[in-house]
Amino acid sequence: MKRMVLWAVIALVLGLGAYIRLAPSNPARWHVAPVAEVDQDLPSGVLRVVETGPDGLQRLDLIARATPRTSVLAGSVDEGMITYVTRTKWIGFPDYTTVQQDGDTLRIHGRLRFGRRDFGVNKARVDGWFAVLQ
């Protein structure tokens, strides 16, 4: 009986891990323009508004694409908005970061997909991108 429970727990953990890694990312849900006028730290992510000049998105795109385990979900520099997916190293939890160029202003929204708190992970990544951008 104990072995059956152990195998059931192992199967559950592996199944959850597979779901987290393989669940599709719907661009219609995640590729939405950030709405913010001021910086905000949220339990599930971060919103930032930064004056970068008109080429901010182009410069930030190079930084984001160089970030390990980060890929583009939707958008482009030419469209003026890009959403990136960055996955954690071990489990592969996805975080979504949408960056939009609005004139000289760059708006960025980094948020988690699973859970309620990101423990500052999105804040650290987004603020790190802006530190390199400066």
Task: Give the tens place of pLDDT for each residue, 26-53.
Answer: 999 999 999 999 999 999 999 999 999 9
pLDDT digits (tens, 9 = 90+) for 55-104: 999 999 999 999 999 999 999 999 999 999 999 888 888 999 999 999 99
Measure the CA–CA gap between 46 and 122, rounded to whole angstroms. 6
Measure the CA–CA gap between 86 and 72, rounded to whole angstroms. 9
Strand partners, 50: 106
Residue type present at position 68? P
The tokens for 85 are 């997916």
3-class secondary-structure state, position 98? strand
Residue type present at position 26? N
